[in-house]
Amino acid sequence: MLSGIEHFEYCQRQWALIHIEQLWKDNGLTTAGTIVHERADDYAQSETRGDLLILRNLRVFSATLGVTGACDVVEFRRSDSGATLRGRDGRWQPYPVEYKHGGAQPYNRAGHYQLCCEAMCLEEMLSCTIPAGAMYYNKNRRREVVEFDEELRQRVRDDLASMHALFERGYTPRVKRSKKRCRSCSLVDLCLPELGSSESASSYINDRIEEVAGGLNQKTAE
């Protein structure tokens, strides 16, 4: 899943808890993010303003990277160096835009990697080159231009290769504490200190459930 690369960049353990162990829990930040994305998707799927074509919730994929997902918004502007679009005259240059509910955080560039991955998928699908895209921050209603240089692209390739390898192994990385990131993570109550061992989060939870069930059965028998 394309959005997983943002989780992976934020915290590899968080990514594994969500995508390998299928655990999830909302908090204020994730709920606000969901609302922002729903608002972005509320508008018509496509919109034309002169030489600007806007597509929302656009499904994308890359066989090379082994990833699928959806772009919040892709803006297409008429350009001789752009891509051809079925049902549209001329050529159109794609420009992906990723929506975030908060403001820009200098220490957290996780969204940049997701945005770059979206661009790489679009490039493969449309046989074109996309040099840049934008992050839209709902908190201050501003855009941040993100250039897709080779360093960023290689980081995306490396991340996806690591994600595929961990997923195939079914391995959840150990805890790496970070005050800022752990405090903001909706899974902090599931990602307990005890889980720094080789035991997976789901195994830990199942064991605790069995302990409780066993205690109840014992009381019933007494």
Domains and CATH numbers, the chain: 4-191 (3.90.320)
The pLDDT assigned to 186 comes to 77
Instruction: Give me the sheet containing 91-100, strands edge to edge.
Output: 46-49, 52-62, 67-84, 91-100, 132-137, 142-147
The pLDDT assigned to 94 comes to 98
The residue among 8, 2, 9 whose CA lies nearest residue 107 is 9
Based on DSSP, count helices (H) and strands (E) in the chain, helices before strands.
Answer: 7, 6
Tens digit of pLDDT per residue, the chain (222 long)?
898 999 899 888 889 889 888 886 544 444 444 444 455 555 557 889 999 999 999 999 999 999 999 999 999 999 999 999 998 999 999 999 999 888 877 767 889 999 999 999 999 999 999 999 999 998 888 999 999 999 999 999 999 999 999 999 999 888 887 777 777 777 777 775 444 444 555 665 665 566 566 555 554 455
pTM: 0.75
The pLDDT assigned to 214 comes to 58
172 CA to centre of own chain: 18
The pLDDT assigned to 31 comes to 44
The residue among 61, 56, 99 whose CA lies nearest residue 75 is 56
The pLDDT assigned to 55 comes to 95
The pLDDT assigned to 199 comes to 52
DSSP single-letter state for residue 173: P
CA torsion, points 56, 57, 62, 63, in degrees to nearest 10? -130
Dihedrals φ, ψ of 197, to 5°?
-80, -175
The pLDDT assigned to 43 comes to 54
Dihedrals φ, ψ of 202, to 5°?
-65, -35
